Chain A
């Protein structure tokens, strides 16, 4: 029974870790499906993490924080759009630039506004964070391991953003495959010339995709600083944006497989946390640094093609110019 509880707790942790990854990966899916490589995921998330924590700290409302997080990430997405869509700049460089800029800007603003050495104040007031929602009868249900504990730990007790992220997977799939916008989005990432010829503006479509990416990154960043933890600290995304991108590639730019990839990453991460300090048979205690590096190693392994070669949207990374 002890092992069973451990496994359930591990799965619950997986869900929590997977949430920002999933949001970022879906964000990446929208922009990359439109043909824009999204290396700015990391920066947009980090920017949103800072903005939401800062606004929540000042206003006392996590919801205002969420709004600020989304606004910030969308603004950063528009900067990338201005460089890459309007002015056909290098998408990889633009995403990297925005990320580096935000890495510096967060602590700089935090220092100037809060004077706390580069992080935001602790969010401990009521309503300053997104907290877990306990579902009806979750407490008594714990008494019954199956299915009570599953209900209490896996379904109940997460914050709103977790449920939102879960709902976004079928929603994204529906948008992508069943709506006019989805059809055009998939088309513009494959052959923007065909889209232009069909009388649709390539740039407008791509801007809309980037804005969606910004909104989702905004939610992801807000989750990091005002739900998963209580405040912004420097570099708190710790490469999650890139992991999300790897999950997206592993998921072949499709919502459901991408969800699977995010859960795999999250499970590794949750497991690694559990393994800290635990003596394993044969290898003994694994040094904590190696455990922390596990998600990054996993990313490299996945990209190394244990997955087979992924076929990216055909026009990805190529700035669109009308004249050929």
Chain B
């Protein structure tokens, strides 16, 4: 009943997430204070570390690329009413697909190997999402728990493969040999150098462009196709979906395949663009950052890109922080991530009511004039 008064659209989409983010950052600052460091110094360090130099910006966008993929993955599942905590595992296994193609065809022409590597990443990621999706659709198995379990299983599988099967012979650390150079995703600074622009050498690469294209395609798919419509109906009201002739089990499986495929593209940036080999834990928690990014971006591609860049800056700035302040390490970024998920995803109502009140008062006053 209290649905009558609503925040204006811009406030709902921009102001509210900003308020939530600000509170999350303030709380993070409080924790920094608790650690015995100055939040203000930490903030300045993070800002200068992430956006204060070409190198910082390059790294920020490189991290952001991962988060766009995983954020989109989480968002697509969300629109179908599913909480996919398994983006981490899907990205990990997806990277395996990408990496295998790169190892196998690394010396084939880039126009052959890169599309195949993208396809393989998407397919492997989708495959890893399939079983939890199918179990949810057919057996009602709680997808949150099964996808978490698949994260653990993916980690075990990848460790096994890297330690026992794919390891470069005669090497200690569990990683593969380097891909052939044709399987490298072109770095932005190299491309800029070709047209005579100097940019600091960073892992920022063309996969960022692919991530933006993926974001645009997700936008079109979710809001401007009949399949996206069916997916949203199913996510909002499963009963109405059945009534409308939409089969929820198909939507669940379809949405999770798409979600897994998007997460599976992380390897394009991380492996083809930066590491040039498959190695242990290359996902680095990006799947979980995806949850924060998706929630902060209100499950909208534009919001996700913005939030991903913000988290990219947080990651890059966090490295700087760990470097300069002995009492802080990269785990602090995980704390911030948790706070952002909490405030943007679970506590959005906390500030919605007071904000709505402010708007109602404001409207009454302007009406009185």
**A299 CA to B53 CA in the complex, in Å?**
47
**A82 CA to B131 CA in the complex, in Å?**
34
- Asked whether B345 lies within 8 Å of A97 as measured between CB atoms, the reply is yes
Answer whether residue B157 sits at the interface, using C-beta atoms and an 8 A cutoff. yes
Given A100-B288, A239-B148, A290-B160 in contact, is the A90-B139 Cβ separation under 8 Å?
no
**Given the complex, which residues of B lie within 8 Å of A79, measured CB to CB?**
342
Shortest beta-carbon distance from A140 to chain B in Å: 43
**Given the complex, which residues of A lie within 8 Å of B140, measured CB to CB?**
305, 309
Instruction: Name A296's contact: one of B149, B338, B342 (CB within 8 Å).
Output: B149
Interface membership of chain A positions 251-264, coded 1 if the CB is closer than 8 angstroms to chain B and 0 otherwise: 00000000000000
Which of B1, B131, B139, B164 has most chain A Cβ within 10 Å?
B139
- Asked whether B291 lies within 8 Å of A96 as measured between CB atoms, the reply is yes
**Given the complex, which residues of A lie within 8 Å of B164, measured CB to CB?**
287
**A89 CA to B341 CA in the complex, in Å?**
11
Instruction: Name B347's contact: one of A87, A289, A293, A305 (CB within 8 Å).
Output: A87
Residues of B314-362 contacting chain A, CB below 8 A: 327-329, 331-339, 341-342, 345-350
- Asked whether A105 lies within 8 Å of B345 as measured between CB atoms, the reply is no
**Given the complex, which residues of A lie within 8 Å of B350, measured CB to CB?**
83, 87, 89
Residues of A85-122 contacting chain B, CB below 8 A: 87-94, 96-109, 111-112, 118
Which of A94, A104, A287 has most chain B Cβ within 10 Å?
A104
- Asked whether B141 lies within 8 Å of A303 as measured between CB atoms, the reply is yes
Q: Which among A58-66, A188-196, A214-222, A241-249 touches the partner chain?
A: A241-249
Answer whether residue B48 sits at the interface, using C-beta atoms and an 8 A cutoff. no
**A34 CA to B50 CA in the complex, in Å?**
45
Instruction: Name A242's contact: one of B131, B139, B145, B349 (CB within 8 Å).
Output: B145
Shortest beta-carbon distance from B140 to chain A in Å: 6
Given A89-B346, A89-B348, A304-B141 in contact, is the A296-B337 Cβ separation under 8 Å?
no
**A305 CA to B150 CA in the complex, in Å?**
17
- Asked whether B141 lies within 8 Å of A97 as measured between CB atoms, the reply is no
Answer whether residue A297 sits at the interface, using C-beta atoms and an 8 A cutoff. yes
**A187 CA to B163 CA in the complex, in Å?**
52
Which of A82, A108, A242, A292 has most chain B Cβ within 10 Å?
A108
Answer whether residue A84 sits at the interface, using C-beta atoms and an 8 A cutoff. yes
- Asked whether A293 lies within 8 Å of B2 as measured between CB atoms, the reply is no
Shortest beta-carbon distance from B181 to chain A in Å: 31
- B interface: dominant SS: helix
- Asked whether B150 lies within 8 Å of A101 as measured between CB atoms, the reply is no
- Asked whether B331 lies within 8 Å of A111 as measured between CB atoms, the reply is yes
Given A242-B149, A309-B140, A323-B2 in contact, is the A93-B295 Cβ separation under 8 Å?
yes
Instruction: Name B346's contact: one of A90, A249, A323 (CB within 8 Å).
Output: A90
* CB-CB nearest in chain B for A298: B149
**Given the complex, which residues of B lie within 8 Å of A305, measured CB to CB?**
135, 139-141
Answer whether residue A18 sits at the interface, using C-beta atoms and an 8 A cutoff. no
**A287 CA to B153 CA in the complex, in Å?**
13
Given A287-B164, A304-B135, A305-B141 in contact, is the A108-B331 Cβ separation under 8 Å?
yes
Top 9 closest pairs, chain A to chain B, by CB = A101-B338, A104-B334, A94-B346, A89-B346, A97-B342, A293-B156, A97-B341, A100-B338, A104-B335
Kindly list 8 other residue pairs between chains A and B, CB separation below 8 angstroms, not including A105-B331, A239-B148, A303-B145. A93-B291, A94-B345, A97-B341, A101-B341, A107-B329, A109-B35, A290-B160, A300-B132
Q: Which residues of A contact B (CB under 8 A)?
A: 39, 79-80, 82-84, 87-94, 96-109, 111-112, 118, 234, 238-239, 242, 245-246, 249, 287, 289-290, 292-293, 296-297, 299-300, 303-305, 309, 323
Q: Which residues of B contact A (CB under 8 A)?
A: 1-2, 31, 34-36, 83, 85, 131-132, 135, 139-142, 144-146, 148-150, 152-153, 156-157, 159-160, 163-164, 288, 291-292, 295, 327-329, 331-339, 341-342, 345-350
